[in-house]
Amino acid sequence: MNQETQNTEWKRKWRDEFLKTLCGFANAHGGTLEIGREDDGTVVGADNVNALIEELPVKIRHTLGIVPSVELHVAQGKQVISIGIEASNTPVSYRGRHYMRSGSTTLELSGSNLDRFILRRMGITWDGITLANVKSKDLDTSAFRAFREKALSSGRLQRADLEISDEELLDNLALVENGELTRAAVLLFHHNPEKYVFGAYIKIGYFETGADLIYQDEFHGSLIKVADEIIDTIYRKYFKAVVSYEGIQRIETYPIPQSALREAIFNAIVHRDYTSGIPIQIKVFPDSVTIYNDGRLPDGWTVANLLAKHRSYPYNPKIAYVFYRAGYIETWGRGIERITEACLAAGKRPPVFKASTTEIEATFYMETAVSSDDISDRVNDRVNDRVNDTVSSRVTETQNKMLTLIATNPHITAQKMAEEIGINERNIRNNITLLKKAGHLERVGSAKSGYWIVKRPKELVKNERKAWNGAN
């Protein structure tokens, strides 16, 4: 059975209210509305074809201010009208309201969502807006010193690039617009950014149970300075290391690999929605750590898109750029992949990610979830994926998304996968059957309390490892 998507919509008959859908396409990534199909894609044929072919281009251009492509074609012996809409570089409204296509639905934008959408269409991001009442002399000189040390040690900037005044450095980092400091400059380098951006801090708490807070810490000040302080505090105060020895060398092993948690926290800082006034919250439990961050996925994205390979889409690009120059993050969209690889290499299950319209949540688990042999295979498989997409060529896009979700959360339900990917549950169950038959998926335990294992057929793994060895 077919399914409507981010870029497709089917309607049996034309009604003017569908102009909202076309508006949503224009404000997102473009799309096609077909008249003469049921919601499941069944062709029934369009009515009043000749009149619509003449009227729709004029109506759409007059109402939305955009020029569509309206075409008539035959499907299964019946006439269908296709209305193609390209993505618009400027905001498109319908009767004074703005709509955005998200998944297979069309949503009305309002409040801060509308403000953010219009700013981005104008080439402006929230962190790029200036603050007229803050000057460079008001910023924290120790924060500039910390940035110079980090940028130099990371190799992202040379000494000559850093031996300039603080004012010149701000300008070179694109943190000054028309002689005024941006919000990003204040968040990154001011000793008290909360004076200008309410809630711009990070808090950590240790909980014995879901509600019993034992102790906590808060981190206030410039993001450049507090970033490392957060990581140091977590591993010094909140975690207990397992001590072992190799000869006379003392080795401390922590319950969560530092590179993975560091990547997740720094990404939370970069992608946070600072308009919410709610600080980033990190809850540490005896068996897990959860990072709660007010933020949003890119338009039309689900967790499946986040977990799959993707380009970098920083929510606050100016903050992201400075964090990159400081060596804190990469800019290739590999943050989630790096986190997963670090967890698997340390023998831990990858974190579970959840996203709503206002919050992104990441939970790390401290227990070892898989055997050492399985970890080795899964790490090698991820490396092989970057060299040879053998398995990807043998499964559909939907199945790839399902396998990614399952690898991250082995206990995920078919209903939850359907919600994340944006298709119906029956489709998910059909694909589960196909993946099991193909040897990519195995169910362990009962339907209620069991879990999934993502597998790779032995012959495919053998061939991919040969390809990897040959490439190196």
Q: What is the pLDDT of residue 300?
A: 67
Q: Tell me the domain boundaries of the chain.
A: 8-109
Q: What's the CA gap between 46 and 53, in Å, rounded?
A: 11
425, pLDDT greater than 90: no
Q: What is the pLDDT of residue 369?
A: 54
Q: What is the pLDDT of residue 388?
A: 38
Lowest-pLDDT range, 39-48, 338-347, 381-390, 437-446?
Answer: 381-390
- Mean predicted lDDT score pLDDT of the chain: 85
Averaged pLDDT, 367-392 = 45
Residue with the bigger pLDDT between 469 and 195: it is 195
418, pLDDT greater than 80: yes
Q: What is the pLDDT of residue 40?
A: 86
Instruction: Kindly report, residue by residue over 292-304, the tens digit of the pLDDT.
Output: 999 877 766 777 7
Q: What is the DSSP string of 333-353?
A: S-HHHHHHHHHHHTTBPPPEE
The torsion angles phi and psi of 356, rounded to 5 degrees, stand at: -120, -170
Q: What is the pLDDT of residue 462?
A: 46
Q: What's the CA gap between 293 and 269, in Å, rounded?
A: 8
**Confidence band for 406, pLDDT divided at 50, 70 and 90:** confident
Lowest-pLDDT range, 21-25, 202-206, 325-329, 343-347?
Answer: 343-347
Residue 109 contacts residue 98 (beta carbons within 8 Å): yes
Percent of the chain at pLDDT above 70? 88
User: Residue 162: beta bridge partners?
Assistant: none
Please name the residues in contact with 123: beta carbons below 8 A apart, sequence gap of 6 or more: none
Q: What is the DSSP string of 367-415?
A: SB-S-HHHHHHHHHHHHHHHH--TTGGGS-HHHHHHHHHHHH-TT--HH
Please name the residues in contact with 210: beta carbons below 8 A apart, sequence gap of 6 or more: none
Output the CA angle 238-243-245, nearest 5 degrees. 155
Residue 219 contacts residue 297 (beta carbons within 8 Å): no
Please name the residues in contact with 389: beta carbons below 8 A apart, sequence gap of 6 or more: none
Q: Is the dihedral of CA 118, 122, 128, 129 positive or negative?
A: negative
What's the maximum distance between 2 C-alpha atoms anywhere in the chain?
87
pTM to 2 decimal places: 0.66
Q: What is the pLDDT of residue 373?
A: 45
Residue with the bigger pLDDT between 61 and 3: it is 61
Q: Which of 11, 6, 16 is nearest to 80 (CA)?
A: 11
Q: What is the pLDDT of residue 307?
A: 76
Q: What is the pLDDT of residue 376?
A: 44
- HSE of 450, CA atoms in CB hemisphere, 13 A: 9
Q: What is the pLDDT of residue 385?
A: 45
Instruction: Kindly report, residue by residue over 228-280, the tens digit of the pLDDT.
Output: 999 999 999 999 877 766 677 777 788 999 999 999 999 999 999 998 899 99
Q: What is the pLDDT of residue 435?
A: 86
Q: At what angle do helices 317-325 and 258-271 cross, to 10 degrees?
A: 140
Q: What is the pLDDT of residue 335?
A: 84
468, pLDDT greater than 60: no
Instruction: Kindly report, residue by residue over 94-145, the tens digit of the pLDDT.
Output: 999 999 988 788 989 988 778 878 887 877 889 999 999 999 999 999 999 9
Q: What is the pLDDT of residue 458?
A: 47
Q: What's the CA gap between 108 and 116, in Å, rounded?
A: 13
Q: What is the pLDDT of residue 2?
A: 63
Q: What is the DSSP string of 317-338?
A: HHHHHHHHHTTS--SSS-HHHH
Structure tokens at 116: 């953010």
Residue with the bigger pLDDT between 111 and 214: it is 214
Residue with the bigger pLDDT between 419 and 184: it is 184
Averaged pLDDT, 377-406 = 59
Q: Is the dihedral of CA 23, 27, 31, 37 positive or negative?
A: negative
Q: For the domain 8-109, what is the CATH superfamily, name and number? A: Schlafen, AAA domain (3.30.950.30)
